[in-house]
Amino acid sequence: MQTPKKFVMNGTEFEIGSGNVYADLDFPDAEEMFIKAQLACKITEIIKARGWTQQQAALKSGIAQSKLSQMLRGQFHSISEAKMMECLTRLGRPVQIVVGPPSRKKSVGPVQVVFA
């Protein structure tokens, strides 16, 4: 992990995050958790926009109401990325997985979630 960038404003030191809070907090599965967080946010956004109860959302999404409740509260560690993507398709959102060209700068390519 790179040395964080810091700055001081009004006598208080601030640290600029990497954009992935899980990586900033040294979680071992930071990239996976960040992807799941983004997927969970989109699922939550769709459910709220439709005005559904958790019960209605569970029936439409194919996720048990108890698991959906956990996910909506940010406790999604036990829900797979594949299950979250399936949930999005059941909510009427197409999901694409695109493998890009090789990265010249890194031996390990990045994984990103992009919403159209």
- The pLDDT assigned to 4 comes to 66
- Provide the CATH topology of domain 29-90: 434 Repressor (Amino-terminal Domain) (1.10.260)
This model's pTM is above 0.85: no
Domain ranges in the chain?
Answer: 29-90
For 84, the 3-state DSSP assignment is helix
The tens digit of pLDDT for each residue in 100-113 reads: 888 777 777 778 88
Indicate if the pLDDT at residue 58 is higher than 70: yes
Beta strands in the chain (DSSP E): 5-9, 12-16
